[in-house]
Homo-oligomer: A and B are copies of this chain.
Amino acid sequence: MDQNPPRSTSVTVADVARRAGVSKATAARVLGGYGTVSDRVREAVTAAARALDYRPNELARSMTTGRSGTIGVVVGDIENPFFSLAVRGITDVARQAGFTVILINSGEDVTAEKAAIRTLLAKRVDGLIVSPAKESELDHLQEVARSGRPLALLDRGSEALAVDTVIADDRNAAEAVTRRLLALGHRRIAYITACDTSDHLFRTPTDINTGSVRRRIEGFLDICREAGLAEMERWVHVGASSPEHTRRIATDMLRASGRPTAIIASDSVIGLEVFKASCAIGLAIPSDLSLVSFHDADWTSVTSPPVTVVRQPVYRLGERAAQLLVERLNGEGMEARRVVLQTEIVERASVAEAPA
């Protein structure tokens, strides 16, 4: 009763068919689960397949069907808790819908993003979810549209692009945060983002190509303007693209004589560094410095003091994007949908009145 050792070259429908004594087409029908076959034949084929340890070749299947059962996902950095949570949302929905996910990090670099999309398209993914690094460059995104494959944008949209988009209500969140800070008497309020400009200086929101962040900064500046504060542009700091950069920026800023009395961090990674920097310098939160961070990262509730955050429905952001994509993959062509998920300010203890 010795089994033949499985051959190195994989067994195909033809092999199974031969062993079962039926035609390739028939074997394919039962193996692929389509068409109609008699019970007797079905059993024979199934048995043969098991005996031979048959493994379907999805590649070949995709070749003929035109569907790969795969969706491509391009995010800035999977290491960032924001994206890893969003990706979890995506993969959960994808798996349930029978799709598998190819993940590529862009490192927030447009060139890498383009390459990623090219790769994904070449691999014939059925659809893509992208969190575009820059809104300004979207040739490659239009390329996707032209390829006929559905695309969904995550966290960052573009008015110019008629594709399904899921973003958070960033502008409102920033406005609310700014109002709150203003009401507490803060006038020197800094905004720190990982986005960068060519000369690492901020002048106007149009310098910021990352949609979600631009909207926040616009909200921040608008509310300041409404309150009669001019030239708040000089309080927005760009280029906090790594913990080291952030530390440097925060430290310099907090050591300056006219240091801010409040800081808004554009994501939790930045928020964490600001927190550290202020501790290191010996500034007390919130008496010396108020801190608000975007993204309700798990640690924010456990510091002393716990930090006030803008809670974004990150998992649902990914989940929703995947849902839109899957619907479009299954269903008919409909209008591009733009869903905006609500944010919420979680007041904790890192915000207080501005020091006198």
Residues on A lying within 8 angstroms of B by beta carbon are 6, 8, 10, 55-60, 62-63, 68, 70, 77-79, 81, 84-85, 87-88, 91-92, 95, 100-105, 119, 121-124, 146-148, 269, 272, 275-276, 279, 297-299, 301-304
B68 touches A79 (CB 8 A): no
When distances are taken between beta carbons in the complex, the residues of chain B under 8 Å from A68 are 59
The reply to whether B304 and A276 form a contact with Cβ atoms under 8 Å apart is no
- The 3 tightest CB contacts between A and B, nearest first, are A299-B299, A304-B304, A84-B84
Which chain B residue lies CB-closest to A8?
A: B148
Residues of B within 8 A of A78 (CB): 78, 84, 87-88, 91
Residue of B nearest to A143 (CB): B53
CB pair B59–A124 under 8 Å, yes or no, is yes
Given contacts A58-B124, A59-B59, A122-B55, whether A101 and B102 have CB atoms under 8 Å apart is yes
Could you say how many copies of this chain the assembly holds? 2
Closest Cβ of chain B to A99, distance in Å, is 10
Are A302's CB and B272's CB within 8 A? yes
Closest to A103 in B: B103
- Determine which of B79, B88, B303 lies in contact with A77 in the assembled complex, contact meaning CB atoms within 8 Å: B88
CB <8 Å contact, A105 and B88: yes
- In the complex, the answer to whether B91 meets A105 with C-beta atoms within 8 Å is yes
What are some 30 contacts across the A-B interface (CB < 8 A)?
Answer: A55-B121, A55-B122, A55-B147, A56-B122, A57-B122, A57-B124, A58-B119, A58-B123, A58-B124, A59-B62, A59-B123, A60-B63, A70-B102, A77-B88, A78-B88, A78-B91, A79-B84, A81-B81, A91-B103, A95-B104, A95-B105, A100-B102, A101-B102, A101-B104, A102-B103, A272-B298, A272-B299, A276-B301, A303-B303, A304-B304
Q: Report the separation of the CA atoms of residues A85 and B78 in the bound assembly, to the nearest whole angstrom.
A: 8
Whole-angstrom distance between the alpha carbons of A55 and B125 in the complex? 13
* Chain B residues, CB < 8 A from A298: 269, 272, 299
Q: Which residues of B contact A302 (CB under 8 A)?
A: 272, 275-276, 279, 299, 303
Residue of B nearest to A307 (CB): B302
Taking CB atoms, residues of chain B closer than 8 Å to A59 are 59, 62-63, 68, 123-124
Q: How far is the CA of A183 from the CA of B103 in the complex (A)?
A: 46
Task: Identify which of A85, A102, A302 gathers the most chain B CB atoms within 10 Å of its CB.
Answer: A302
A55 to B118 alpha-carbon distance, docked (Å): 9
Which residue of chain B lies nearest to A120 when distances are taken between CB atoms in the complex?
B100
Q: How far is the CA of A272 from the CA of B298 in the complex (A)?
A: 8
The answer to whether A100 touches B85 (Cβ under 8 A) is no
A7: nearest chain-B partner, CB-CB: B148
A84 to B84 alpha-carbon distance, docked (Å): 6
A122: chain B residues at CB < 8 Å are: 55-58
Provide the residues of chain B in CB contact with A121, threshold 8 Å: 55
Give CA–CA (A59, B310) in the complex, Å: 43
Contacts of A148 in B (CB 8 A): 8
Q: How far is the CA of A100 from the CA of B272 in the complex (A)?
A: 31
